């Protein structure tokens, strides 16, 4: 048992990484639909590359969407909308007419006698005749229809077809009333034509209304009667021969076979085996990525948070694609897949991103329709996105990247369609809309960068650019409180940046780290020689131990200040490591000279470390040591600068200050060369040419 615990303790990091890999694979597989994939790839206008395909069972040939749409449109041409005759509205209209007519008569005559009754019966007869015939409320279903067009009228729970001409509109009813009143008024003066006409006109109201519910049911019945198929393929019949061109007709037969094939697997297939197959494929793809981590990006492999970050981004895009695919598979082209390489490129190098992008797109290809086209489109678009942000220094680059992605998608899609189908008419305009939406959604990568920076404790070039601005509050304080230190930091930043560019590394990171590496000197600037005025040295009043403690404390104070101001850990690392575990040599040597035979506690004169652990922090230590020491040179020339650089850097090597950094002796030779050249430029030293 103890051996097991010892093994787990010694290999905890590796076991944890394998656990992350397994969990990621399990989650990805859980997102996959548990249905089989069709085992053939085919495209219109291309030859069938497989052996003769024989139908293993009977299956129907499904109509295309265009054919279905045409048939449904034709079916709806025979649709008769439903209208309902409202007896309640008719009754209400009659009651309102009687009340309004009585009130109008009393206002006009002051009494209701025999003439009133005769006028009322006359008007009521006209109104009853019109209401029984029906006053229809027109809507879109009968707009522009001829009088012969039939509707279905539901009256007294009985449905009968009637032509539109058999109904009145309000305008037509008004004309009927006018003619009837005028005709009667010509034959008898007993009728008050104006009063009757006005009362009837005011009472007119539609009593035949469109029945939306019944009409919808009727439409649904008509559409359901439209057949989804247009023939059958019998078992044993050859679907397509090897080398035969996939014509539009053959393409539809193949699509029908694919649909039936998937349905057969869904009904009779073993989902456990489908899941096992998906697990095997995803495991192989993720293992490729995992091994690439291990063999070619071991620095990333060692940091669990970076592995978690990459796996999390991959899981997020797989989840989104899976959910969108369940809703509408066509919308998968709106998903901004290129956000994945953009996000990861911001934090890692381009070669590493390409591998991640390829693995991610291959996984997503199993979730998308027409996987070949999907994979090609997204691989090319992702590559273009990566190349567009190789050097990301401006926010405007995101808009350019978005435009490049849209153009790439559009061109590749157009090329694939023309190559596969050979007809521009088959291009689908809606796809370009999807690509435009995809490009716009890619802009969300910018806020996501900030979220992932804070969540995973990583830093991007955008943040480094903001931090390296000398107008930032912390650097402005350094300029004000310790101007000499600021000038020293600027020189170290220039030296470090030039050196790291030559040996390969993050130039922006080392420059930013150099600008902040001495911020701890702001608290007590006069105790550091670069900030002292002539004739003033506060160390003269202190013991050598006290002076060493003050000098050494600027590292601790710098770390505290950096954390308080929210500097990224990657920048604080430069503050921690720029002196490593070296000693404050001046005060240490002075203390030894003062008491040659005494025991001097080296810890009181030593920095607390740690030593540099990256190429960037190692270069900063070398540049910082050389730049500080070069200020003490009197009449610097080529030999003095050469000796200074060689001695100081060799001493750093001898004191094991560079042992933990991934820097080679070849790199160190190049750094020495760069530092010598830059220092000679600073001090305007001419190279001594042989006579």
pLDDT tens digits, 567-600: 999 999 999 999 999 988 888 888 888 777 777 7
Cβ proximity of 48 and 244 under 8 Å: yes
**What percent of the chain is modeled with pLDDT above 70?**
93
Which range is least confidently modeled, 31-45, 223-237, 482-496, 661-675?
A: 31-45
**Does residue 521 fall inside a structural domain?**
yes
Contacts of 180 (CB under 8 A, 6+ apart): 126
Residues 56, 236: Cα–Cα separation, whole Å: 6
Query: In terms of residues, how long is the chain?
Result: 691
Q: Which residue has 């399990």 as its token pair?
A: 26
Residues 308, 301: Cα–Cα separation, whole Å: 10
- Looking at the structure, tell me whether residues 469 and 452 fall in a common domain: no
What confidence tier does 2 reach under pLDDT thresholds 50, 70, 90? low
**Does residue 41 fall inside a structural domain?**
no
Tokens of 161: 């077809």
Residues 549, 607: Cα–Cα separation, whole Å: 9
What local confidence, expressed as pLDDT, does residue 379 receive? 92
With a cut of 80, say whether residue 676 has pLDDT above it. Answer: yes
Task: Respond yes or no on whether the N-terminal peptide bond of residue 610 is cis (omega within 30° of 0).
Answer: yes
| Chain centre to alpha carbon of residue 499 | 37
CATH of the domain at 578: 1.10.3210
What local confidence, expressed as pLDDT, does residue 618 receive? 94
Tokens of 558: 């710098």
Each residue of 626-668: pLDDT tens digit? 998 888 888 888 888 999 999 999 999 999 999 999 899 999 9
| Chain centre to alpha carbon of residue 212 | 42
What's 47's DSSP letter?
B
The DSSP code sequence of 485-512 is HHHHHHHHHHHHHHHHHHH-S-HHHHHH
- Looking at the structure, tell me whether residues 139 and 198 fall in a common domain: yes
Average pLDDT over the chain reads 85
What local confidence, expressed as pLDDT, does residue 685 receive? 62
What local confidence, expressed as pLDDT, does residue 547 receive? 87
Contacts of 45 (CB under 8 A, 6+ apart): 245, 246, 419, 420, 421, 422, 423
**Which span out of 192-196, 272-276, 481-485 was modeled with the highest average pLDDT?**
481-485
Cα–Cα nearest to 453, from 560, 347, 525, 352: 347
What local confidence, expressed as pLDDT, does residue 517 receive? 93
- Looking at the structure, tell me whether residues 554 and 600 fall in a common domain: yes
Q: How big is the CA angle at 266 (ends 264 and 269), to the nearest 5 degrees?
A: 80
What local confidence, expressed as pLDDT, does residue 269 receive? 56
Residues 44, 249: Cα–Cα separation, whole Å: 9
What local confidence, expressed as pLDDT, does residue 251 receive? 84
Signed CA dihedral, 9, 12, 13, 14: sign only: positive
What confidence tier does 502 reach under pLDDT thresholds 50, 70, 90? very high
**Does residue 254 fall inside a structural domain?**
no
Angle (deg, nearest 10), helices 638-654 and 665-682: 150
What's 230's DSSP letter?
E
- Looking at the structure, tell me whether residues 105 and 144 fall in a common domain: yes
Under DSSP, is residue 224 helix (H, G, I), strand (E, B) or coil? helix
- Looking at the structure, tell me whether residues 427 and 543 fall in a common domain: no
Q: Which of 166, 193, 222 is the last residue of a domain?
A: 222
Mean pLDDT, rounded, for 300-329? 86
Count of beta carbons in the 10 Å neighbourhood of residue 15 = 13
pTM given for the model = 0.65
**What percent of the chain is modeled with pLDDT above 90?**
23
**Does residue 48 fall inside a structural domain?**
no
Tokens of 206: 């539609």
Count of beta carbons in the 10 Å neighbourhood of residue 434 = 18
- Looking at the structure, tell me whether residues 489 and 418 fall in a common domain: no
**Does residue 325 fall inside a structural domain?**
yes
Mean pLDDT, rounded, for 477-497? 92
- Looking at the structure, tell me whether residues 597 and 572 fall in a common domain: yes
With a cut of 60, say whether residue 688 has pLDDT above it. Answer: no
CB-facing half-sphere around the CA of 331: CA atoms within 13 A: 10
Q: How big is the CA angle at 554 (ends 552 and 558), to the nearest 5 degrees?
A: 140
Mean pLDDT, rounded, for 674-683? 88
What local confidence, expressed as pLDDT, does residue 689 receive? 42
* Alpha-carbon distances, residue 583 vs 69, 85, 489, 492, 552 (angstroms): 84, 103, 20, 20, 9
- Looking at the structure, tell me whether residues 326 and 411 fall in a common domain: yes
Count of domains in the chain?
3
Residues 53, 237: Cα–Cα separation, whole Å: 9
- Looking at the structure, tell me whether residues 556 and 611 fall in a common domain: yes
161 φ, ψ to 5°? -80, 140
Cβ proximity of 336 and 361 under 8 Å: no
Tell me which residue range forms the domain holding 489: 461-682
First to last CA, the chain: 78
Count of beta carbons in the 10 Å neighbourhood of residue 616 = 28
With a cut of 90, say whether residue 9 has pLDDT above it. Answer: no
- Looking at the structure, tell me whether residues 471 and 390 fall in a common domain: no
What local confidence, expressed as pLDDT, does residue 32 receive? 83
- Looking at the structure, tell me whether residues 446 and 552 fall in a common domain: no
Cβ proximity of 150 and 80 under 8 Å: yes
Which range is least confidently modeled, 107-116, 402-411, 418-427?
A: 418-427
**Does residue 478 fall inside a structural domain?**
yes
Tokens of 168: 């009145």
**Does residue 95 fall inside a structural domain?**
yes
For the chain, what percentages of helix, strand and coil (3-state, to nearest 5) are there? 65, 5, 25
Contacts of 420 (CB under 8 A, 6+ apart): 43, 44, 45, 46
What local confidence, expressed as pLDDT, does residue 289 receive? 87
Q: Which of 436, 456, 476 is the last residue of a domain?
A: 456
Contacts of 3 (CB under 8 A, 6+ apart): none
Each residue of 60-115: pLDDT tens digit? 888 888 888 888 888 888 888 999 999 888 888 888 888 888 888 888 877 777 78
Each residue of 160-211: pLDDT tens digit? 999 988 898 888 888 888 888 877 766 666 677 788 888 888 888 888 999 9
What local confidence, expressed as pLDDT, does residue 266 receive? 64
Which range is least confidently modeled, 125-139, 383-397, 493-507, 603-617?
A: 383-397
Residues 442, 429: Cα–Cα separation, whole Å: 21
- Looking at the structure, tell me whether residues 600 and 667 fall in a common domain: yes
Residues 437, 336: Cα–Cα separation, whole Å: 8
Tokens of 60: 């129907």
**Does residue 54 fall inside a structural domain?**
no
Q: Which of 222, 238, 253 is the last residue of a domain?
A: 222
Mean pLDDT, rounded, for 265-274? 67
Residues 305, 453: Cα–Cα separation, whole Å: 11
Tokens of 310: 């990459």
Residues 262, 268: Cα–Cα separation, whole Å: 10
Q: How big is the CA angle at 611 (ends 609 and 613), to the nearest 5 degrees?
A: 135
Of 667 and 684, more confident: 667
582 φ, ψ to 5°? -70, 175
Bridge-based pairing of strands 229-233 and 59-62 is: antiparallel
Each residue of 509-552: pLDDT tens digit? 999 999 999 999 998 888 888 888 766 788 878 888 888 898 99
């Amino acid at each position: 048992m103890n051996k097991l615990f010892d093994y787990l303790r010694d290999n905890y990091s590796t076991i944890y990484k394998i656990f992350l890999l397994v969990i990621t694979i399990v989650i990805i597989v859980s997102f996959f639909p548990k249905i089989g994939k069709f085992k053939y790839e085919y495209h219109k206008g291309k030859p069938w590359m497989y052996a003769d395909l024989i139908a293993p069972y009977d299956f129907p040939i499904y109509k295309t969407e265009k054919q279905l749409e045409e048939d449904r449109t034709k079916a709806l041409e025979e649709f008769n909308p439903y209208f309902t005759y409202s007896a309640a509205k008719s009754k209400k209209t009659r009651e309102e007419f009687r009340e309004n007519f009585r009130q109008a008569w009393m206002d006009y005559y002051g009494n209701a006698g025999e003439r009133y009754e005769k006028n009322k019966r006359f008007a009521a007869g006209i109104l009853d005749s019109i209401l029984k015939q029906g006053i229809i409320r027109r809507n879109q279903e009968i707009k522009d229809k001829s009088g012969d067009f039939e509707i279905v009228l539901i009256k007294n729970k009985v449905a009968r077809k009637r032509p539109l001409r058999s109904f009145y509109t309000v305008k037509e009813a008004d004309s009927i009333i006018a003619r009837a009143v005028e005709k009667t008024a010509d034959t008898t003066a007993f009728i008050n034509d104006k009063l009757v006409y006005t009362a009837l006109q005011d009472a007119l109201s539609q009593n035949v209304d469109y029945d939306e519910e019944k009409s919808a049911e009727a439409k649904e019945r008509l559409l359901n009667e439209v057949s989804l198929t247009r023939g059958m393929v019998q078992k044993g019949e050859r679907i397509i021969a090897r080398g035969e061109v996939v014509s539009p007709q053959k393409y539809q037969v193949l699509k029908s076979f694919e649909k039936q094939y998937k349905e057969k697997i869904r009904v009779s297939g073993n989902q456990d085996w489908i899941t096992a197959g998906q697990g095997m494929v995803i495991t192989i793809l993720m293992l490729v990525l995992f091994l690439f981590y291990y063999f070619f990006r071991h620095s990333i492999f060692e940091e669990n948070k970076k592995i978690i970050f990459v796996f999390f981004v991959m899981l997020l895009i797989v989840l989104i694609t899976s959910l969108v695919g369940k809703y509408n598979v066509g919308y998968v082209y709106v998903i901004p897949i290129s956000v994945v390489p953009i996000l990861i490129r911001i934090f890692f190098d381009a070669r590493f991103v390409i591998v991640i992008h390829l693995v991610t797109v291959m996984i997503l290809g199993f979730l998308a329709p027409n996987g070949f086209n999907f994979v090609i489109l997204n691989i090319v678009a992702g590559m273009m996105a990566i190349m567009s942000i190789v050097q990301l220094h401006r926010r405007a680059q995101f808009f350019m990247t978005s435009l490049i992605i849209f153009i790439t998608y559009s061109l590749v899609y157009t090329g694939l369609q023309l190559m596969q189908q050979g007809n521009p008419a088959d291009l689908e305009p809606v796809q370009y809309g999807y690509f435009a939406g995809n490009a716009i959604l890619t802009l969300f990568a910018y806020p996501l960068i900030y979220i992932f920076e804070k969540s995973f404790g990583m830093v991007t070039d955008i943040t480094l650019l903001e931090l390296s601005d000398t107008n930032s509050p912390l650097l402005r304080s350094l300029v004000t409180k310790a101007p000499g230190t600021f000038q020293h930091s600027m020189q170290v930043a220039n030296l470090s940046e030039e050196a790291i560019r030559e040996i390969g590394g993050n130039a922006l990171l080392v420059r930013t780290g150099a600008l902040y590496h001495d911020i701890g000197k702001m608290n007590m600037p006069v105790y550091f020689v670069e900030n002292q005025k002539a004739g003033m040295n506060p160390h003269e009043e202190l013991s050598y131990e006290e002076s060493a403690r003050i000098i050494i404390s600027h590292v601790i104070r710098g770390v505290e200040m950096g954390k308080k101001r929210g500097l990224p850990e990657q920048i604080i690392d430069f503050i921690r490591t720029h002196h490593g575990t070296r000693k404050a040599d001046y005060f240490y040597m002075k203390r030894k000279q003062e008491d040659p035979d005494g025991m001097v506690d080296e810890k009181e004169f030593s920095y607390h470390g740690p030593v540099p652990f990256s190429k960037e922090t190692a270069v900063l230590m070398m540049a910082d040591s050389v730049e500080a020491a070069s200020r003490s040179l009197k009449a610097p020339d080529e030999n003095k600068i050469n000796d200074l650089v060689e001695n100081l850097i060799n001493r750093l090597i001898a004191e094991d200050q560079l042992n933990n950094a991934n820097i080679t002796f070849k790199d160190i030779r190049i750094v020495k060369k760069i530092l010598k050249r830059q220092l000679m430029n600073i001090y305007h030293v001419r190279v001594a040419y042989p006579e």
